[in-house]
Amino acid sequence: MTPGLSWRIAKATPAHWTVGADKGYDTFEFVEVIRELGVTPHVAQNATRRGGSAIDARTPRHPNYAKSQHARPRIERAFAWMKTIGWLRKIKLRGLANVDWLVVFVSAAFNLRRLATLTTAPA
C-alpha cells in the first residue's frame, strides 16, 4: 500500500466508533466481540436478564451513550415504517439488484413523507 493511500484511510476513519442496539443485543458475547473490534457498544441495558447487563458501569455514564439512546426511537421508527408500509418485512422480489432497488425506493419514499411532514409543521 502506498504511503499516501494509507494516510487517506487513516484520515478518513473517525477517532472513535460506536454501535447502538436494543436490549436484545445486551449479551456478554456480543459486547466482547464489539469491544475487540475497537468499537464502543451503546446497547440498551437489559437489567432483567439473568446475570445482569453486559454493559459495564462506565458506558451508561458517558454523555454520548445518552445521546445514542435518545436517537434510537427516531431511527427505529423509520425502519418500522419501511417494514410495514414499504413492504420490506416480506420482500417478494428476487435478486440482489431488485432488493437493493426496493430498499432505495422505500427509503426515498420515507424521506419524501418526512419532508412533507416537516414542511407543513408549524414553526
Chain segment 5-16, per-residue pLDDT in tens: 444 444 545 667
Distance CA(1)–CA(6), nearest Å, equals: 7
Inter-residue contact 82 to 106 (CB < 8 Å): yes
Residue 27 has a pLDDT of: 92
Residue 101 has a pLDDT of: 96
Three-class SS state of 109: helix
Quick check: 17 pLDDT over 50? yes
Quick check: 97 pLDDT over 70? yes
CA geometry: angle at 18 spanning 25 and 42, to 5°?
Answer: 40
When pLDDT is averaged across residues 25-42 and rounded to a whole number, the result is 91
Is 0.85 topped by the overall pTM? no
When pLDDT is averaged across residues 62-74 and rounded to a whole number, the result is 88
| Cell (9 digits) for 32 | 466482547
Residue 78 has a pLDDT of: 92
